[in-house]
Copies of this chain bind each other. A is one copy, B any other.
C-alpha cells in the first residue's frame, strides 16, 4: 500500500507557514506500515492541485490531500476533487445544519459562504470525526480499472490529526487488504539509558518476536526521555487495547517507576496532576535552570495554583555556602524558596561552585517536602543549554518519585 501527501496552500510555498502536517502524516503512515514516496506542496491553484493529486494517484494507491477545506473562495480542494472524480457536488444537509449549530453555539452569525464546507462530491463520504467546521472526505474512484482513493483533511493540525487517527489510517489499511487495526502506546521513561532499557526488556522483545502479538521499539528523545512504543495489529480496537494493556503491564513490572507517563503526557503534566490530586503546592529555586521550569509550569498552570513561584539568582553569592556540600546547598535552596513563597514543597537544581572540582555536567537536585528532604547528585550533559533542560526534568522526576509515596 502506497500513499502520497499533497499539502495545499500558497502560504506553504511562500514559507509563511512551515508544512508540519506532511511530516506528521508521513510518520503515521510509516507506523501503519504504509509507504510514502512523495510528498508535495502546491498552491491554491485548481490546475496545479489537480495535477499533483492525479500524479499521486498514478504513482500510488492513495493521496491524502491536506488543507484547502475552509469556507473562503481560495479553499478549492472539494471542487478539485469533484473534477478529478468527474462528479458534481451536493450539499450535505446534516453537515450544513451542524455548521449552523457551531456558529449558533458561539453566538455568532454564520456567513453564507461557510455552507460551502457542507458541499460533498457525489460518491464521496464524510469523515465521522469533525472537530471544526470543515468535514473531512473519503473519495473513492477508479482509474484505469484500479480502485484508488483521495482523502481530504483540513490544514488545521489538530483537526487533521483527529481525522487521520480516527478514520484515514484504518481505512487505508482496510483498502490495502488488511482489515486489522494498528494501535500503539508510548511508555515514557526517564533516568534509565536506552541500552539498559533494551537489556531489561530483551526477553519481552524475544517473546514478542516469537508470538508476533506486538512489537516493542525504543526511541531516545533527548529531554523527552526514552520512549518505549508498543505496537500491535488486531482485528478491532478492543482486541488491540487488550494486547497493549497486557504488554504494558508486563513492561511496567520490569521498568517500574522509570515510567513516568504514556503517550502525550510530559513530566510537567504528570507532576502537576499528582500535586493537584494531593492538594500540594510547590516552588522552585531556578538558579541553574534559569526560568525554564517556571515558563513551562506557568504555561500549564497559568494562575499559579500549584506552581506558586520561583527564584533565580547567581551562584555562590553566599559565603557560608562554601562550607557545605552541593547536595546540602540544594536542600538549603529548596528550603529557602519553599519558605519564601510559602508552599508545601520546594525544589532546587544547583551547579557546583566555580572552584569546586566536579566532572562537567554535575548537578545537585533537591526536593523538600513537608516532612522530609531529599537530594542527589546527577551527571547531566556538559553543555549548559542542554544541562539546564535536563536538570528541569531530573528535578521534577525526583519530585514525582517522592510524590508517588504520598497518597
| Residues of the B chain whose Cβ atoms lie less than 8 Å from the Cβ of A17 | 23
- 20 pairs of residues in contact across A and B, judged by CB atoms under 8 Å: A12-B23, A13-B38, A14-B26, A15-B26, A15-B27, A16-B27, A38-B52, A290-B298, A290-B299, A290-B304, A294-B312, A298-B312, A298-B388, A308-B313, A309-B314, A310-B310, A310-B311, A313-B340, A313-B341, A317-B342
Given contacts A290-B295, A308-B313, contact A37 B30 (CB under 8 A): no
Q: Does A18 contact B (CB under 8 A)?
A: yes
| Residues of the B chain whose Cβ atoms lie less than 8 Å from the Cβ of A385 | 299, 302
Q: Does A32 contact B (CB under 8 A)?
A: no
| Residues of the B chain whose Cβ atoms lie less than 8 Å from the Cβ of A298 | 290-292, 312, 388
Contact indicator B291/A293 (Cβ below 8 Å): yes
Q: Chain B interface: which of A41-49, A87-95, A100-108, A122-130?
A: A41-49
| Residues of the B chain whose Cβ atoms lie less than 8 Å from the Cβ of A36 | 13
Q: Does A22 contact B (CB under 8 A)?
A: yes
Q: Does A20 contact B (CB under 8 A)?
A: yes
Contact indicator A39/B38 (Cβ below 8 Å): no
Contact indicator A41/B42 (Cβ below 8 Å): no
Q: Which A residues lie at the B interface, using CB under 8 A?
A: 12-20, 22-28, 30, 36-43, 45, 48, 52, 286, 290-299, 302, 304, 308-314, 317, 340-342, 384-385, 388
| Residues of the B chain whose Cβ atoms lie less than 8 Å from the Cβ of A291 | 286, 291-298, 310
| Residues of the B chain whose Cβ atoms lie less than 8 Å from the Cβ of A37 | 13, 42-43, 45, 48
| Residues of the B chain whose Cβ atoms lie less than 8 Å from the Cβ of A295 | 290-292, 294-295
